Amino acid sequence: MVHPGTVCFWVEGSSLAIPFGPTPVSKAGECRLVSRVNILGKLEGDPNLLKSVREGERMRVELAG
């Protein structure tokens, strides 16, 4: 389980995962990813804004200073 807005590196998929709500494997509304991840950090602001991102849209991830 991870908290909404946690920035994760998805080990099996070699990509970033940023959960923001329940997934198909979640229990009781938690954020649960289907496989192991390495935690990199967290989003600043409301992770629910990710709901407006559509498949195929480009996103830029920057290190906060």
How much is the pTM? 0.77
Mean pLDDT of the chain: 88
Q: Which of 3, 17, 4, 15 is nearest to 49 (CA)?
A: 4
Contact (CB, 8 A) for 15 and 40: no
pLDDT of residue 6 exceeding 90: yes
Domain layout of the chain by residue ranges: 6-46
Give the pLDDT of residue 57. 92
Q: What is the pLDDT of residue 5?
A: 92
pLDDT at residue number 61: 81
> Is the pLDDT score of 29 beyond 80?
no
pLDDT of residue 54: 92
Distance, CA of 65 to CA of 47 (rounded, Å): 19
Distance CA 53, CA 49 (A): 8
